Each structure stands twice: as C-alpha cells, then as structure tokens.
Amino acid sequence: MAWYGEAGDEHYWYEYWKARLTPGYYADAEAADLTGDELGKVLLKAMRPGGLHLEAGCGAGYWVAALRRYGLMIEGIEYAQNLVNLVASVNPGLPLHQGNALHIERPDNYYDSYLSIGVVEHRIEGPEPFLAEAYRVLKPGGKILIAVPYLGAMRAVKSQLGLYDREPPSLPFFQYGFSREEFTALMQKAGFSIEEVQALYAHRLLLEEMAFYRWALNKSWGRFARKWAEVMLRHRDGHMLLVAGEKPVAVSGPGLNDLGG
C-alpha cells in the first residue's frame, strides 16, 4: 500500500523537526523507561552492551539519546545536513552526523547492530538497497531491527472495502506500507534470518484509521478505551511493523547477489 502526501525531502524533515526540537526533547528521551516501552525493550534485548551500534536515518536522534542513557555505544546518521546542524545546536554532544543509509561510510562487518525506524519505506523503487547496505556493514551475528508502516488486518480490510483512494492522487509519493509476509520476505532475500516480528503502536493506528476511536478518546472514559484497545491489539495490529533479524555467522542461501533495486 502506498501513501501520498508532501514530499519527504530534506526540507520537509527539517521543518518537521524544527517545530518539535527543544532541549526538553532530549531530556524526555534520556528519562524514558525503555524496559516498559514496546519497542525499547526489544532494542535492549537485541543490542548488546559493549558492541557498536548504528541508527540509520535517525532524524533528530531520539533513540540514539535514549539508548546511550542505557550505556549502549550507538551513533546515528541522518541524510539532511540542515537537520544535523539543528541537532548539533540543541544537543552538541549527541553522536549524530550526516550520512546516507544507502552508502554508509564504514567498512564491511563494522557494527554489532543496525536500527532503522520509518526510513526504508520512503524509496519509491523499494527498500532493497537499504537492506543490502545494512547487511554489508553488520558483523556476522549482528542484529538488524527495522520498523516500517504496517499493512495489517485493519488497513487490509479497509483497502478491500474500497475505503482508500483507488487511483494515485496528484500529490507525490511519500511511503509504502508492508504486510508481515512482504517485509519478512524482503529481509530474508537480503540474507537475514528472522528472529522476531511484531506489530507496534496500536493507539497510533486507531487514531489514523478509526473515527469512532478518536471520538471515544474525548469522552470521560477515553483513557479506558485507549487501554482496552492497546491490550486487545497488542502485537496483533498496529501502525508499524517491527522485524528483527540476524546476519548469519555462516552465510548460506540467497544473499546480496540476489537483490534488485
């Protein structure tokens, strides 16, 4: 499934973060209890202390700041130089620099883990080159954790019922959404073994897709509606799909030579 909207170029992301980035943003990141966060606890389990980790396409570096608070040696790369400069003006000590996730300036087998949240879906030709580059820079046995927009049960049903536009609108392409089967197949084709797949952020999904839910949140019992919805949908459906895998120690089967894009 494809989303259309304002082009997600450097200017778009700079303006997006300029409106949100304050010193309090990083204070919140460093104070976050990742052991109780649905994504954070997966990251802490996969990213070993003492290793060297990368977030590719890290935006303003929320996860870089949050994970460093837990003692992880993680750095971030972000394509938009003006956003990198903005981050440096607000949090100059954060290890975030300009870089291209399609051409990472590190040697082969360099990182112990590779994290990417909401990045690879923005390439109209497909995410395969991002996965190939992630495979290259990861050490054998290294972990990959990628989150992409999820075409889960709710969105699939709405699509089948014709509740989305059938023709591409005049707006430019923004991103793809992937089913569980689609994205795990892409990861496996890139050479990764799959360790965990789960849906994330049920609340965000319902906000975007269900008018009744938005209405319910404004009622006195809104917080109970949110809690009930998140319990019922947890790991079953959500706004994002997290796929965690590993670069095999002994390479076998399909790999980089099979990738297109």
C-alpha pair distances (Å), 2 with each of 156, 161, 165, 172: 12, 16, 10, 11
Count, residues in the chain: 261
pLDDT digits 0-9 by tens, 111-133: 999 999 999 998 889 999 999 99
pLDDT digits 0-9 by tens, 48-102: 999 999 999 999 999 999 999 999 999 999 998 999 999 999 999 999 999 999 9
Taking residues 224-233, what's their average pLDDT? 80
Instruction: Quickly state the pLDDT bin for 7 (edges 50, 70, 90).
Output: low
| Helix runs in 54-127, H state only | 62-68, 81-90
The share of the chain scoring above pLDDT 90, in percent, equals: 58
**Is it the case that residue 259 has pLDDT exceeding 60?**
no
pLDDT digits 0-9 by tens, 201-225: 888 888 888 888 888 888 888 788 8
Taking residues 238-253, what's their average pLDDT? 85
For each of the domains in the chain, give its residue range(s) and CATH number, in order of start. Answer: 2-202+238-249 (3.40.50.150)
- Please, is 159 exposed, middle or buried when counting C-beta atoms within 10 Å of its C-beta (0-12, 13-18, 19+)? middle
The structure's pTM equals 0.86
Burial 173-204 (b: 16+ CB within 10 A, else e): ebbbbbbeeebbebbbbbbbeeeebbbbbbbe
Three-class DSSP labels, 33-57: CHHHCCCHHHHHHHCCCCCEEEEEC
